[in-house]
């Protein structure tokens, strides 16, 4: 600016004419206005004026901290019996006992399968009877003193009534089932997958970290509080589904229906389910309770073509046409966009506010978004530069801000000398916050329409045509029962001391230290909470156990060598005991 303004002032001073002076002043004002407009309409180019002006020394962290308030550590009121019970969790006696309890739970094989038949008819459901017997034996006080209900045969509902009916209940979720262990992978495990082996640090086996650890931790929490003669003001409920790995259509769906009938819309104060945990990023340890989930959409695509003998083939078989469509689908990704409602937007503010290694370019782009400089361009459909810069951290971050597509299952053809009359693929999508399933359906319809026109096939796109009923010489797009829109985003304002989020964050910082930054997270997968949306706005998908010696990740869930450290598990029990007591004292 100085190089523009100074010559004008000098020229005006040396010119004796009033007309000339007015002319130079007018020109000066136009230049100042133009400079201001340049700042307001800052484009994405690094060569433009605003990025050069916004050096790291030209602004502080205040704008970022206001969007990432950290509540003070929250500790329950002093009570000698309850404090003694809490301290017992850190003892060697408790550690040994909890190893036995979790190991025993892992040893009960509770696999769930996508092709399970009706309850009572398919014998594979019967494994849950064994698990229920194990819980009854392991947690006698819960089964003697609390209300225990079986919902749709295998769902478990435990209710501990509070003394104050005006307080909405605390609801803790987990699921009893695990994904199956493929027989061909058993020899690859360090310890057998159903052994519940303990090596001095980890408990190994399927379900150890997804999520029998959380189920056992919540049971241990209530058993400890019962032993300590705790008398809750606020009702505490445990709800355990049995088919979460198959979308919870029989388990969590039935349990949620019972609870909704009992408590009504928004009748629950807070829900905690399995979910995201802790992450080290930019030199800072973050706790990231999931406050949102991406949507979910499976799209089966079927191509029907004439059959015949392979010695006289058509130029393109159903498999070839389907392959062409798959290539088109995979040739372009969905755009990377970060909606303001996406919890990762808040995570970035937390990183900018509290992390010493937060990237400077990302910080500048974030400040531009916060102050509105980029919003006009983003809303106009142009590339979201903030999202694109953040996505450079890798696919795990990129897919927090992008609808994903994955070609997962394909089938077609029955014999090498017979042309395939039918070929099918299933494409899985996880829908970005700020988008809907319609975005996916419109895109696939357009792509399938191009291929159908090229091969003179009719297109049936989401018109109700069912599998096995596809017309000859057609391309059919379907949806199935697992379709799910993006979850409602949980309020997560740490400055509101009376909010469930502040209770969660304060509990976390009390247990793990004030250096932990609590920030809302987003789940790329889905949990049983999909069935509980109507019960509360305050749903958190959070696995609160933490072991600083563990690396990133969730203990190899869904794969070989699933495990959880005992320290992680003990910390989870401590967190739940503290959280239940903090919620009991909170006026939320």
Query: Is residue 144 annotated as a catalytic residue, yes or no?
Result: no
Query: Are 371 and 506 contained in the same domain?
Result: no
CA dist 337 and 532 (Å) reads 27
Query: Are 330 and 242 contained in the same domain?
Result: no
Task: For residue 418, give the 3-state DSSP assignment.
Answer: strand
Query: Are 495 and 554 contained in the same domain?
Result: yes
Q: Is residue 58 part of a domain?
A: no
Q: Give the domain CATH number at 121.
A: 3.40.630.10
Q: How many angstroms separate the Cα of 583 from the Cα of each of 355, 468, 507, 588?
A: 30, 52, 10, 8
Q: Which one is predicted more confidently, 440 or 21? A: 440
Q: Is residue 501 part of a domain?
A: yes
Residue at a domain's end among 450, 485, 520: 485
Q: Is residue 70 part of a domain?
A: no
Query: Are 144 and 274 contained in the same domain?
Result: yes
Q: Is residue 73 part of a domain?
A: no
Residue at a domain's end among 485, 508, 532: 485
CA dist 235 and 1 (Å) reads 64
Structure tokens at 560: 């070989």
Q: Is residue 519 part of a domain?
A: yes
Q: Is residue 207 part of a domain?
A: yes
Query: Are 455 and 494 contained in the same domain?
Result: no
What is the total count of domains within the chain?
3
Q: Which of these ranges, 21-35, 82-96, 535-549, 558-572, has the smallest mean pLDDT?
A: 21-35
Size (the chain), residues: 588
The domain of 447 spans: 295-334+403-485
Query: Are 390 and 538 contained in the same domain?
Result: no
Mean pLDDT of the chain: 89
Residues 227 and 580: beta-carbon distance below 8 Å: no
Q: Give the domain CATH number at 302.
A: 3.30.70.360
296 has which bridge partners?
Answer: 430, 484
Q: Is residue 421 part of a domain?
A: yes
Q: Is residue 283 part of a domain?
A: yes
- Tell me the per-residue pLDDT of 212-248, one tens digit each, with 9 for 90 and over: 999 999 999 999 999 999 999 999 999 999 999 999 9
Query: Are 109 and 212 contained in the same domain?
Result: yes
Query: Are 494 and 356 contained in the same domain?
Result: no
Query: Is residue 244 annotated as a catalytic residue, yes or no?
Result: yes
Q: Residue 211: pLDDT above 90?
A: yes
Residue in 220, 223, 243, 244 annotated catalytic:
244
CA dist 9 and 441 (Å) reads 61
Q: What is the pLDDT of residue 46?
A: 37
The owner of tokens 């992680």 is 568
522 has which bridge partners?
Answer: 292
Query: Are 375 and 425 contained in the same domain?
Result: no
Query: Are 255 and 279 contained in the same domain?
Result: yes
Residue at a domain's end among 433, 463, 485: 485
Q: What is the pLDDT of residue 555?
A: 61
Structure tokens at 506: 């304060």
- Tell me the per-residue pLDDT of 322-375, one tens digit each, with 9 for 90 and over: 999 999 999 999 999 999 999 999 999 999 999 999 999 999 999 999 988 544
In terms of Cβ atoms closer than 10 Å to its own Cβ (0-12, 13-18, 19+), residue 497 is: middle
CA dist 135 and 74 (Å) reads 31
R_g over Cα of the chain: 29
Structure tokens at 277: 């945990």
Query: Are 147 and 161 contained in the same domain?
Result: yes
Query: Are 92 and 239 contained in the same domain?
Result: yes
């Amino acid at each position: 600016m100085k190089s523009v303004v100074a010559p004008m002032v000098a020229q005006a001073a040396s010119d004796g004419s009033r007309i000339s002076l007015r002319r130079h002043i007018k020109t000066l004002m136009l230049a100042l206005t133009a400079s201001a407009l340049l700042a307001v309409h800052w484009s994405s180019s690094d060569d433009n004026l605003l990025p050069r002006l916004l050096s790291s020394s030209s602004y502080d962290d205040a704008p970022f901290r206001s969007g990432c308030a950290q509540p003070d550590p929250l500790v329950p009121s002093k009570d000698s019996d309850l404090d003694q019970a809490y301290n017992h969790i850190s003892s060697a006696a408790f550690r040994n006992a909890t190893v036995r309890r979790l190991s025993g739970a892992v040893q009960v094989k509770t696999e769930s399968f996508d092709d399970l038949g009706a309850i009572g008819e398919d014998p594979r459901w019967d494994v849950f009877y064994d698990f229920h017997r194990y819980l009854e034996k392991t947690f006698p006080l819960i089964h003697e003193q609390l209300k225990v209900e079986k919902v749709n045969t295998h769902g478990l509902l435990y209710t501990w009534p509070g003394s104050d009916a005006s307080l909405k209940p605390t609801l803790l979720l987990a699921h009893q089932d695990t994904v199956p262990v493929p027989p061909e992978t058993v020899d690859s495990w360090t310890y057998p997958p159903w052994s519940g082996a303990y090596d001095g640090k980890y408990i190994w086996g399927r379900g150890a970290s997804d999520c029998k650890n959380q189920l056992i931790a919540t049971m241990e929490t209530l058993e400890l509080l019962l032993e300590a003669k705790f008398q809750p003001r606020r009702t505490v409920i445990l709800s355990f589904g049995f088919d979460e790995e198959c979308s919870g259509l029989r388990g969590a769906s039935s349990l949620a229906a019972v609870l909704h009938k009992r408590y009504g819309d928004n009748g629950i104060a807070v829900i905690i389910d399995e979910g995201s945990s802790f992450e080290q990023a930019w030199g800072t340890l973050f706790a990231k309770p999931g406050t949102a989930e991406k949507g979910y959409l499976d799209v089966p695509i079927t191509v029907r073509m004439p059959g015949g003998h392979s010695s006289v083939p058509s130029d393109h078989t159903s498999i070839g046409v389907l392959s062409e469509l798959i290539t088109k689908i995979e040739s372009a990704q969905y755009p990377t966009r970060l909606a303001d409602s996406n919890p990762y937007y808040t995570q970035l503010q937390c990183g900018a506010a509290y992390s010493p290694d937060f990237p400077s370019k990302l910080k500048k782009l974030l400040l531009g978004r916060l102050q509105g400089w980029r919003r006009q361009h983003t809303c106009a459909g142009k590339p979201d530069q903030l999202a694109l810069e953040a996505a450079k951290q890798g696919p795990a971050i990129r897919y927090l801000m992008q609808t994903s597509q994955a070609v997962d299952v394909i089938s077609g053809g029955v014999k090498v000398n017979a042309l395939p009359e039918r070929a099918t693929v299933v494409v899985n999508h996880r829908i970005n916050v700020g988008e809907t399933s319609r975005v996916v359906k419109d895109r696939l319809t357009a792509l399938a329409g191009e291929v159908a026109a090229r091969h003179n096939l009719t297109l049936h796109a989401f018109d109700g045509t069912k599998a096995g009923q596809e017309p000859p010489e057609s391309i059919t797009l379907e949806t199935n029962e697992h379709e799910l829109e993006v979850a409602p985003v949980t309020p997560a304002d740490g400055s509101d001391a009376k909010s469930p989020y502040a209770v969660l964050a304060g509990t976390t910082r009390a247990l793990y230290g004030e250096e932990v930054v609590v920030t809302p997270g987003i789940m790329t997968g889905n949990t049983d909470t999909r069935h509980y949306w109507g019960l509360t706005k305050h749903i958190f998908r959070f696995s609160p156990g933490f072991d600083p010696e563990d690396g990133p990740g969730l203990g190899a869930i869904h794969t070989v060598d699933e495990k959880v450290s005992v320290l992680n598990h003990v910390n989870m029990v401590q967190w739940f005991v503290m959280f239940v007591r903090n919620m009991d004292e909170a006026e939320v």
